[in-house]
């Protein structure tokens, strides 16, 4: 799932802390920290500026919106990446096992059986390419 979070621009905060606005004591206040406050993908600085201008409750907030930016984050449920990687490793494992059978000495397979195995190998090669491309882009 993708989300956005408000963060200081590097030139204004070396640590690029996340910024969030929350009510504290009945008044909206600015907080910073290393954990993001997730916003919808439709969030923009322009919309925040409009919100600040249109709502009196935000007029006392000490936050220069030109010094912050929305960054896009990929939110992944804990354990999901590991399961996804295991699933993507199945085609390469299957391919290796089929190639071992195909190239095994004294296989004893008839020509049509080897041809059928070769077709399975071709299909698994195609799926392996997809899996490897996916894994290469994952991290």
Cα-only R_g, the chain: 27
Shared domain for 60 and 89, answered yes or no, is: no
The pTM of this model reads 0.55
Query: What angle, rounded to 10 degrees, do the helices at 111-138 and 80-103 form?
Result: 150
Does residue 54 share a domain with residue 21?
Answer: yes
Domain span at 103: 80-138
Compute the average pLDDT of residues 10-20: 91
Express as a percent the part of the chain with pLDDT over 90.
41
Q: Do 28 and 70 fall into the same domain?
A: yes
Average pLDDT value for residue range 7-16: 91
Question: How many Å apart are CA 74 and CA 87, to the nearest integer?
Answer: 20
Query: Which residue, of 74, 104, 119, is where some domain finishes?
Result: 74
Confidence bin at 18 (pLDDT 50/70/90): very high
CA distance 89 to 54: 52
């Amino acid at each position: 799932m993708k989300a956005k979070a408000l963060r200081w621009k590097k030139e204004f905060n070396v640590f690029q802390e996340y910024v969030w606005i929350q009510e504290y004591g009945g008044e909206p206040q600015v907080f910073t920290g290393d954990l993001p406050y997730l916003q919808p993908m439709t969030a923009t600085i322009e919309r925040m500026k409009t919100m600040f201008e249109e709502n009196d409750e935000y007029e006392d907030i000490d936050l220069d919106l030109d010094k912050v930016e929305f960054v896009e984050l990929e939110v992944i449920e804990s354990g999901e990446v590991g399961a996804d990687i295991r699933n993507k490793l199945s085609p390469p494992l299957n391919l290796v096992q089929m190639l071992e059978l195909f190239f095994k000495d004294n296989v004893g397979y008839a020509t049509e059986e080897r041809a059928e195995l070769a077709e399975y190998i071709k299909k698994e090669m195609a799926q392996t390419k997809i899996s490897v491309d996916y894994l290469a882009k994952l991290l």
